[in-house]
Amino acid sequence: MFSKILKFEVFNGTKYQLLNYIKGFEKVNIVSGNPEVLYNGLKDKDMFQSFTSKNSVIIPDGVGTLIASRIVKNPVNEKIAGIDVMEEIINICKNNNYGIYLIGAKEDVLRSCIYNLKLKYPGINISGSHNGYFDLNNCEKILEDIKKVKPYALFIAMGSPRQDRFIIKNMEELPCKVFMGVGGSFDVFSGKLKRAPKWMINFGLEWLYRVIKEPWRIKRLIVIPRFLIKVAVDYKSRISSF
Give the tens place of pLDDT for each residue, 85-102: 999 999 999 999 999 999
In three-state form (DSSP H/G/I as H, E/B as E, the rest C), the secondary structure along the chain is CEEEECCEEEECCCHHHHHHHHHHCCCEEEEECCHHHHHHHHHCHHHHHHHCCCCEEEECCCHHHHHHHHHCCCCCCCCCCHHHHHHHHHHHHHHHCCEEEEEECCHHHHHHHHHHHHHHCCCCEEEEEECCCCCCCCCHHHHHHHHHHCCCEEEEECCCCHHHHHHHHHCCCCCCCEEEECCCHHHHHHCCCCCCCHHHHHCCCHHHHHHHHCHHHHHHHHHHHHHHHHHHHHHHHHHHCC
Write down the pLDDT at residue 16. 95
Per-residue pLDDT of the chain (242 residues; tens, 9 = 90+): 999 999 999 999 999 999 999 999 999 999 999 999 999 999 999 999 999 999 999 999 988 999 999 999 999 999 999 999 999 999 999 999 999 999 999 999 999 999 999 999 999 999 999 999 999 999 999 999 999 999 999 999 999 999 999 999 999 999 999 999 999 999 999 998 777 788 777 767 777 767 777 776 777 778 888 999 999 999 888 777 65
What end-to-end distance do the CA atoms of the chain give, in Å? 23
How many Cβ atoms sit within 10 Å of the Cβ of residue 178?
Answer: 22
Task: Report whether the peptide linkage leading into residue 161 is cis, meaning its omega lies within 30 degrees of zero.
Answer: yes
Cα 51 from chain centre: 11
Distance (Å, whole) CA 242 – CA 233 = 15
CA 163 to CA 136: how far, in whole Å?
A: 10
Domain spans in the chain, listed from the N-terminal domain onward:
2-240
- d(C-alpha 31, C-alpha 59), whole Å: 6
Indicate the pTM of the whole model. Answer: 0.93
- Report the alpha-carbon distance of residue 80 to residue 201 in Å, rounded: 11
